[in-house]
Amino acid sequence: MNKYEIKYQLEQMTSAVDRLTDVAGKQVNHIEELWAEIGNKNSKINTLQEKIYERNEEIHRLQDIIKSQQHKNLSEQFFPERTNN
């Protein structure tokens, strides 16, 4: 190999390294954007889980009210003298 061939190969390798560096930089930026998006989605998930928990508490409260009302209705039906409005 003469010096021109070596110089040509060096330029090619330098160009390849530059392209790979650009690609790596773009991928780093993309990964950072994805992590930010994941963070936003995790926040949304946590908010929705809190709402689900609150709704479940409300459901249990309403179920307790329904049970007590059913118990009261049965008591009124079978023991009208014991009921106290």
pLDDT tier at 41, thresholds 50, 70, 90: very high
User: Over pLDDT 70: what percentage of the chain?
Assistant: 95
* C-alpha–C-alpha distance, residues 85 and 71, integer Å: 13
Per-residue pLDDT band at 26 (split at 50, 70, 90): very high
| Per-residue model confidence (pLDDT) at position 85 | 55
Q: What is the pLDDT of residue 19?
A: 94
Whole-structure pTM value: 0.62
Residues whose CB is less than 8 angstroms from the CB of residue 83 and which lie 6 or more positions away in sequence, other chains included: 72, 75, 76
Tell me the pLDDT band of 84, cut-offs 50, 70 and 90: low
- Distance of alpha carbon 51 from alpha carbon 4, whole angstroms: 71
State the distance between the two ends of the chain, measured CA to CA, in whole angstroms: 107
Measured between alpha carbons, how far is 4 from 20 in angstroms, rounded to an integer? Answer: 24
